[in-house]
């Protein structure tokens, strides 16, 4: 605590902890307007945020020192809008410019911090947290907090399966090394559109086979077959991990090859079918009207599982979908009552299809390209991969929080 109080910077992990705790925080984001509009820092509740592009603050420049310029601009035009009773986090794309902004704010008497590495570091922050710990079994929920992407590492008897690994596969390798388990299987619940799968790369690094449903090994819009090595997932296929059995359920709707995995008949890795607050959208393959009825049938099938089945989803849209431990997990019994998409899935097919087609959010252009990457059709550079992954996922139906 001491150390944090004296520091003038926050790392991505500290930002996550403040957001998860719901601490009072104000963000001064100095990226340009387009960048700001496409992606902001979000918390459990609203995080008050002001966007003042840094180049505007340089326009007063008669100063040699950039901190003097920022301080003069902020004192003249922005100071009234900034809180005296909350921490202010200065944010830019990489954390270099915002360092001067934070210093200018401190000069004006504010309790200001710089976000080290900027939104780039925030976007690449991963949280590993145990969501199940029972005897020799441990399930880690891996959350890429800024993007709302979730993945899982299920370990039993020193063996592990990784479900939906995200792009930075070194994080999984470090966990395996630290915890002393061996990654034996890598499974993707579907061909992802919103993020680059770490599956093939993790397979290459570990020698473990990578599996995908063959329906998702075709680019749905280009209609080109995937150029990658994969093991076939299909309905009813089982995997043994230590003493545990993982069973595949083919639940098409979000994609044609969408699969969920049921471990020990009680932990449901639902991929992009059921989320905590919502359900997956059916239109990212360009066939929303055709796939929505499949989605209805698949969700109905999942609704037949027992109430105590623990749902472990592939995404979240808001940090406040997490429980008090910051975990995204809930019993199916609760979700069948509280999740609007599941309430609708329990209704007749026509009504469900009408509902879902009326609730589709925007279709981000880059998703078409991300699907190409995940099918092995293009190999982006690291810089291009980061660019494709900017922003939050929109795999769920339109934001229930915004109505």
Q: Which CB, 153 or 395, lies closer to Fe ion?
A: 395
Give me the least distance between CB of 198 and Fe ion, in Å please. 14
Q: Which CB, 284 or 327, lies closer to Fe ion?
A: 284
Indicate which residue of 30, 92, 162, 335 is catalytic.
92
Phi, psi of 259 (to 5 degrees): -130, 145
Structure tokens at 124: 């690449």
Site stretch for Fe ion (CB under 5 A), options 68-76, 109-117, 161-169, 264-272: 264-272
- Is 395 one of the annotated active-site residues of the chain? no
The reply to whether 272 sits near Fe ion by the rule CB under 5 A is yes
Which residues in the 85-104 window bind Fe ion by CB under 5 A? none
Token pair 């003493």 is found at 243
How many residues touch Fe ion under the rule CB under 5 A: the total is 2
Give me the least distance between CB of 271 and Fe ion, in Å please. 7
Give me the least distance between CB of 163 and Fe ion, in Å please. 13
Token pair 């009326």 is found at 358
Q: Beta 112-115 vs 87-91: how paired, if at all? A: parallel
Q: Beta 231-232 vs 238-241: how paired, if at all? A: unpaired
Alpha-carbon torsion, ordered 261, 262, 267, 271, to 10 deg: 20
- Let me know: does 20 contact 322? Beta carbons within 8 Å: yes
Residue 183 burial (C-beta neighbours within 10 Å; 0-12, 13-18, 19+): buried
The DSSP symbol for 45 reads S
Q: Which CB, 117 or 364, lies closer to Fe ion?
A: 364
Element (H, E) at 204: helix 199-206
Q: Which CB, 30 or 260, lies closer to Fe ion?
A: 260
Site stretch for Fe ion (CB under 5 A), options 256-264, 341-349, 368-376, 395-403: 395-403
Give me the least distance between CB of 316 and Fe ion, in Å please. 12
Give me the least distance between CB of 194 and Fe ion, in Å please. 6
Q: Which CB, 112 or 193, lies closer to Fe ion?
A: 193
Which residues in the 134-193 window bind Fe ion by CB under 5 A? none
Site stretch for Fe ion (CB under 5 A), options 153-161, 202-210, 245-253, 391-399: 391-399
Residues 6+ apart with CB under 8 A from 327: 129, 131, 141
Q: Measured between alpha carbons, how far is 46 from 25 in angstroms, rounded to an integer?
A: 10
Phi and psi based region of residue 71 (left: phi greater than 0; alpha: psi -120 to 50; beta: remaining) = alpha
Other residues' Cβ atoms within 10 Å of the Cβ of residue 201 = 18
Give me the least distance between CB of 312 and Fe ion, in Å please. 15
Q: Which CB, 95 or 341, lies closer to Fe ion?
A: 341
Binding mask 219-258 for Fe ion (x = CB under 5 A): ----------------------------------------
Q: Measured between alpha carbons, how far is 397 from 280 in angstroms, rounded to an integer?
A: 6
The reply to whether 395 sits near Fe ion by the rule CB under 5 A is yes
Q: Which residues are catalytic?
A: 92
Q: Residue numbers of the site for Fe ion (CB under 5 A)?
A: 272, 395
């Amino acid at each position: 605590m001491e150390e944090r109080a004296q520091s003038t910077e926050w790392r991505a992990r500290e930002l996550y902890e403040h957001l998860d705790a719901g601490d009072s925080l104000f963000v001064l984001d100095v990226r340009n307007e387009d960048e700001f509009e496409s992606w902001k820092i979000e918390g459990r509740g609203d995080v008050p945020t002001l966007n003042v592009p840094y180049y505007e603050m340089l326009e007063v420049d008669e100063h040699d020192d950039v901190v003097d310029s920022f301080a003069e601009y902020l004192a003249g035009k922005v100071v009234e809008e900034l809180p005296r009773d909350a921490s202010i986090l200065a944010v830019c794309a990489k954390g270099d410019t915002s360092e001067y902004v934070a210093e200018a704010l401190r000069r004006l008497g504010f309790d200001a911090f710089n976000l080290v590495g900027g939104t780039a570091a925030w976007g690449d922050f991963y949280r590993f947290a145990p969501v199940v710990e029972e005897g020799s079994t441990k399930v880690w929920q891996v959350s890429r907090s800024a993007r709302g992407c979730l993945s899982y590492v299920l370990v039993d008897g020193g063996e592990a399966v990784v479900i939906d690994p995200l792009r930075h596969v070194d994080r999984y390798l470090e966990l395996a090394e630290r915890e002393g388990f061996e990654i034996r299987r890598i499974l993707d619940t579907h061909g992802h559109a919103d993020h680059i799968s770490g599956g093939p790369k993790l397979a290459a690094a570990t020698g473990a086979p990578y599996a995908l449903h063959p329906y998702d090994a075709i680019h749905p819009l280009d209609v080109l077959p995937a150029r990658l090595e994969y093991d076939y997932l299909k309905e009813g296929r089982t995997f043994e991990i230590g003493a545990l059995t993982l069973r595949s359920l083919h639940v098409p709707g979000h994609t044609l090859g969408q699969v969920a995995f049921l471990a020990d008949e009680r932990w449901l890795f639902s991929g992009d079918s059921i989320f905590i607050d919502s359900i997956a959208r059916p239109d990212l393959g360009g066939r929303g009207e055709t796939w929505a009825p499949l989605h209805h049938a698949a969700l109905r099938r999942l609704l037949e599982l027992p109430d105590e089945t623990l749902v472990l989803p592939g995404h979240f849209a808001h940090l406040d979908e997490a429980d008090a431990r910051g975990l995204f997990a809930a019993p199916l019994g609760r979700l069948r009552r509280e999740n609007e998409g599941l309430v609708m899935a329990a209704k007749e097919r026509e009504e469900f299809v009408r509902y879902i087609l009326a609730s589709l959010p925007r279709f981000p252009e880059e998703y078409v390209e991300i699907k190409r990457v995940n099918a092995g059709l293009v190999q982006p550079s690291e810089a291009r991969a980061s660019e494709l992954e900017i922003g939050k996922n929109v795999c769920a139906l339109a934001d229930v929080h915004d109505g």
